Structure 1
Amino acid sequence: MRSPHDPSAHDETDTARGAWRQGVGVAIATSAYGISFGALAVAAGLDVWQTCVLSLVMFTGGSQFAFVGVISAGGLAAIPAAIASAALLGVRNVAYGIRMSTLLPPGRFTRIAAPQFTIDESTAVALAQSSPRARTVGFWVTGLGIYIGWNLSTLAGALLGDVLGDPRAYGLDAAAAAAFLALLWPRLRGRQPIVVGVAAAVVATVLTPALMPGLPVLLAAVVAIVVGWLDWGSGATRGPGTAEGLDEPDDLPEREGLP
């Protein structure tokens, strides 16, 4: 056990506090967008209870918006297509789960609870940290914070949708994307991350108008596989906190020091 006077213990505490602050910030920004979902879901024909159950159970914003978007366009007859679109967008969470299973402390609670909170933002905040403890704090603070905030704002949007008008007029549709970009930006320190980010953005932008929701995201993810397989831009410097530095052996033994 490390002494409380050990400088490394203070450093780990500081990084955990930083992860906490990032998680809370991302949770607030992302939760605000739930108002938009609540309003759009009710406008698409769902009642308040159906809208709230979607957020409670499905809890993945992209899939939820895809679902109500298809329902809005095609009515009840479009339910199979809506389910397919939501499922395709949800596939990315499987990849997140595989990654996070190697970073979170093992245990029955983690296996049972973590999958529900494994979403874009909780994974991004966790992977942005440089120590195992900070990753754990970032994951849970972000995931739980968004779950609570998203469901409350979904209810508010469903109840007040007609009063609020178009949520996009308030810029809420850009809140989650802006928070995610803020987490991504510091990680673009080398050629390889930049190549992946730019190429994936181009692929998603070009394919989104032509393909059903979910497919552009999955195909954009293939960019990272191709870049990694061909090792493009591998001369970039690796360092703690970057995407390449997360798997360095130096930070894996610290798992034993987790509470």
Structure 2
Amino acid sequence: MPSRPEPRGEDRRASFQAGARAAIPYASVGALLSMSFGVLARDAGFPVAAVIVMSAVVFAGSAQFAAVAILAGGGSAGAAIAAAALMNSRFLPMGVALGPSLPGPPLLRAAQGQTVVDASWAMANRGDGTFDRWFLFGSTAPQYVTWMTGTTVGALGGNLLGDTSRFGFDAIYPMFFLALLIAEIKDRRTAAVAGAGALVALSLVEVAPAGLPVLAASLVALWGLRRQEPSR
């Protein structure tokens, strides 16, 4: 796998700042999405503190929404945790791809990997098999701030907002991931892989447990991308 020298000083700062600027649109959307989560979690009976702590620790919209939906529907905590884990299963292949670009011993690399979110991972990808970790850190920072801010506002002021579907908040999450997908489609083959993954997910969404469609689509995408690699 190709490698690049670790940037120093001003280069790190410049990369971090570039990441923060690039993440502004995603951070703005994240604020609205997390506000919606805060409202929905409070409507489901979650205490304010639990809602805020969940966002602070999990920091993953799909997993949080899935867990709240299951618990609100009378499901067990075990089922909610399993669904959240499946929803976040996409981070496994993302972490495998990112790992070689993170320096240091295993624990330090694992700590750096906690900054991965979908938009940051996609934007930090240099396209040659390596990732700009300082760009990754910079792009995640504002997203975390707005995620926590939106959650807090939603949890504390949810009663004032009422039904979030009136404002189109329910469409924000799928549109967010659609924007990421479109940005990553660079040729016909990646378009075909994306389409195959989407078909698999759509075929399973009504019959499979929450999170399994995402996992299945991820496996399809991994297989498709592996097929793109030149033979050695």
Give the TM-score, by structure 1 length: 0.73
Alpha-carbon displacement from aligned partner over 1:209-259 (angstroms, at most 9, x marks no partner)? 111111000001121233245x3xx5xxxxxxxxx8xxxxxxxxxxxxxxx
Structure 1 residue ranges without an equivalent (≥5): 1-8, 235-243, 245-259
Answering whether residue 185 of structure 2 is matched by residue 182 of structure 1, we say no
Match in the other structure for 1:100: 98
Structure 2 contact 29–176 (Cα < 8 Å) conserved = yes
Q: Is residue 195 of structure 2 the alignment partner of residue 198 of structure 1?
A: yes
Q: How many Å separate the matches in 1 of 2:130 and 2:195?
A: 31
In structure 2, give the amino acid aligned to 1:79.
A
Q: Which residue of 2 aligns with 1:135?
A: 132
Alpha-carbon shift at residue 137 of structure 1 (Å): 3.9
Q: Structure 1 CA distance, aligned partners of 2:199 and 2:94?
A: 22
CA apart distance, 1:73 = 0.6
Within 2, Cα distance between the matches of 1:150 and 1:30?
6
Q: Which of 15-24 and 44-53 deviates more?
A: 15-24
The answer for the alignment partner of 2:157 in structure 1 is 160
CA distance in 1, matches of 2:177, 2:29: 9
Q: Which letter maps to 1:34?
A: S
Identity %: 33
- Aligned-partner Cα distance in 2 for 1:132–1:219: 23
Displacement of 1:206 in angstroms is 1.6
Q: How does 1:1-259 map to 2 (within 5 A)?
A: 19-74=19-74, 78-104=76-102, 106-107=103-104, 111=109, 113-127=111-125, 129=126, 135-229=132-226, 231=227, 234=228
For this pair of structures, how many residues does the alignment match? Answer: 219
Moved more, 180-189 or 50-59: 180-189
Structure 1 pair 219–131 and aligned structure 2 pair: CA distance change class (3 A): closer
* 1:153–1:107 Cα change, 3 Å: same
Corresponding residue for 2:5?
none
In 1, Cα distance between equivalents of 2:131 and 2:218: 26
CA contact (8 A) 1:51 1:158 kept: yes
Hey, what's the Cα distance between the residues in 2 that align with 1:13 and 1:54?
Answer: 30
Distance 1:112 1:120 in 2: 17
Deviation at 1:193, TM superposition (A): 0.3
CA RMSD of aligned residues (A): 3.0
Q: Are the structure 2 counterparts of residues 138 and 29 from structure 1 closer, same or farther at C-alpha, using a change threshold of 3 Å?
A: farther
* Cα 1:13/1:111, change in 2 over 3 Å: closer
Distance change >3 Å, CA 45–CA 132, structure 1 → 2: same
Query: Does structure 1 conserve the Cα–Cα contact (< 8 Å) formed by 2:98 and 2:131?
Result: no
8 Å CA contact retained: 1:89, 1:217 = yes
Indicate the structure (1 or 2) with the bigger Cα radius of gyration: 1
The residue number in structure 2 matching 1:240 is none
- Return the structure number with greater relative CO, CA threshold 8 A, min gap 6: 2
1:5 match:
none
